[in-house]
A and B are shown apart, each in its own frame.
Chain A
Amino acid sequence: MDDLRELYQEVILDHGKHPRNKRHPEHVTHAAHGNNPLCGDKVTIYLVIGERDRIEDVAFEGRGCAISTASASLMTEIVKGKTEAEARALFERFHAMCTDDSYVSAGDDEIDPESMDRLQVMAGIRQFPMRVKCATLPWHTLTAAMAGKEKASTE
């Protein structure tokens, strides 16, 4: 039960139940559909990217489990206002956090320590390898949208 509590922390349950930025913005510059063929979960990421590659708005729609919904919700809060490069760098560290057993937070030396600190609530996923793709699907879809691709898949 302990690793379950670690996975389903209050923050995740809250974002899962009351996702932030779950909407379809009126004017969108980039969008991509993400699909996890394993479970049929779907997410669409909408972006408004302004000058100097800055993410001015980000939102999502879709259906998924608590983990993927919470991950998408947290992600939108975190990457809003960041540049594309910053968002990509965050995903790289987040991916390591979710999958790499040797991952340790670099603390204050971490890129964007504040954001990484907030993402730390997802770290429990590492004990559940079958669920990592739930957590990373929104981020894969975000990167696809930024790269101008229409589709992202976890497979």
Chain B
Amino acid sequence: MTLSQPLAAARTDARPNFDVERVREDFPILARPVHGKRLAFLDSGASAQKPRQVIESMRAAYEETYANVHRGVYFLSQRSTDLFEGAREKVGRFLNAPSHENIVFTRNTTEAINLVAASWGRTFLREGDEVIISALEHHANIVPWHLLKREKGIVLKIAPIDDDGNFLLDAFADLLTDRTRLVSITHISNAIGTIVPVAEVIRLAHARGVPVLVDGSQAAPHIKVDVQALDADFYAFTGHKVYGPTGIGVLYGKSDLLASMPPYQGGGDMIETVTEQESTFKDPPFRFEAGTPAIVEAIGLGAAIDYVEALGWDNLHAHERDLSAYMAQRLGTVEGLTVVGNAREKAGITSFVMECAHPHDMGTILDRAGVAVRAGHHCAQPLMERYDVAATVRASLGLYNNRADVDQLVEGLQQVREIFG
């Protein structure tokens, strides 16, 4: 054995039960060069790439079993319905929901939150009622409440964070009043990666009888979510960030809450009977799924969940922890770079700015280096204001990222310094 062997081994990403290089082979797009360079895809927080298994499940659904669901008595419709409803059951298990009947399919997280705002919010909120969100929210968990504010005169309160991006639990508790009707909060900040202690948030809210909606858009791909352990009242996430297709999202809701809510949209598939003047509606979740759903996308989401769970959460967490530490260490070597958000509990999402260059210029230079990152406000403008920046560069990790991706990012940032330094 030569001396270089242990060093070389220390530089690889190999783990006993998780070989990132093998995992990368499941994602066809990672093999394509960009601008003649190897692709370092570090924008999974915006949307994750898809493994062959997901693409294949959707191809098979279209080629072998496709028909509309919940309708025909013929073979294909039955088969399609089984697969679609099977996907709902997979999602239920993925979240550890009590039943698949707690799972409403939506287009994405945004639609899931809008569904709650439009159905539950319009029904139960009155002028002066208070909804608490946090300073970390994505626009998807801000704007629906702004709409209700205009329509109903609700009061929106913002739970603060400290300068490192930590969620301030005590300050949140102080915002709860007799008028608080809902807490709607992100599980993980899409812009700076803070993991919000939602279990504690929910405990505090429930102590005052206030239900909690959790925006799990960024959490579902990064941590094992257990809606029963959290005791979440609503939990929303989207398929395309958990390596599934676009156009399919999920709203989990507790049975009694869903049962108390009127339909979100009206149309086919959500009714019991329709006469010329009146309709009656199905029970949840179907009450909230008007029209032909995203059948094949739901099946693809089911395949994505199978894929992630087969890799194992422990492996994924360990890999992400290692790579996040490596990223923090390597970014620390780039002169003039400041990380925005240094929360104690953070997922693999890192936002940063550089003294010498604007995030957009950084994004363009990184792109030419084959590095895909998000440069912008991350649909979190209030949070950007909080840090007094117009934008940041965000590198977000997926399960397929490796150290070479991080190295390529750092090399790209050195080029930024060459041009702007």
Contacts and interface: CB of A to CB of B under 8 A. Distances in A.
Interface of A: 1, 3-5, 7-8, 13, 38-42, 63-67, 128, 130-131, 134
Interface in B365-415: 365, 368, 375-377, 381, 384, 390-391, 415
B364 interface: yes
A64 B358 contact: yes
B76 to A, nearest CB: 43
A4 B419 contact: yes
Contacts of B391: 39-41
A39 B390 CA distance: 8
B360 interface: yes
B20 interface: no
20 contacts: A1-B368, A4-B364, A4-B365, A4-B415, A4-B419, A8-B361, A8-B419, A8-B420, A13-B420, A39-B360, A39-B375, A39-B391, A40-B376, A40-B377, A40-B390, A64-B390, A65-B359, A65-B361, A66-B357, A131-B360
A154 to B, nearest CB: 13
Interface string B323-367: 000000000000000000000000000000000011111001100
Contacts of B365: 4
Given A4-B419, A39-B375, A67 B390 contact: no
Interface of B is mostly: helix
A126 to B, nearest CB: 13
A19 to B, nearest CB: 13
Interface size class of B (residues with CB under 8 A): 10 to 19
Contacts of A63: 390
Given A38-B376, A39-B375, A128 B364 contact: yes
B134 to A, nearest CB: 20
A1 B370 CA distance: 11
Contacts of A13: 419-420
A67 B358 CA distance: 9
B354 to A, nearest CB: 12
B418 to A, nearest CB: 9
A3 B376 contact: no
Given A40-B377, A130-B364, 10 more contacts: A7-B364, A13-B420, A38-B376, A39-B377, A40-B384, A40-B390, A64-B358, A65-B359, A67-B361, A131-B360
Nearest to A39: B376
A3 B360 contact: no
Contacts of B375: 39
Identify the interface centre among B360, B368, B381, B391: most chain A CB within 10 Å of its CB. Answer: B360
B361 to A, nearest CB: 5
Contact of A134 (B360, B377, B415): B360
A65 B368 contact: no
A16 to B, nearest CB: 8
Nearest to B378: A40
A62 B377 CA distance: 16
Interface in B76-100: none
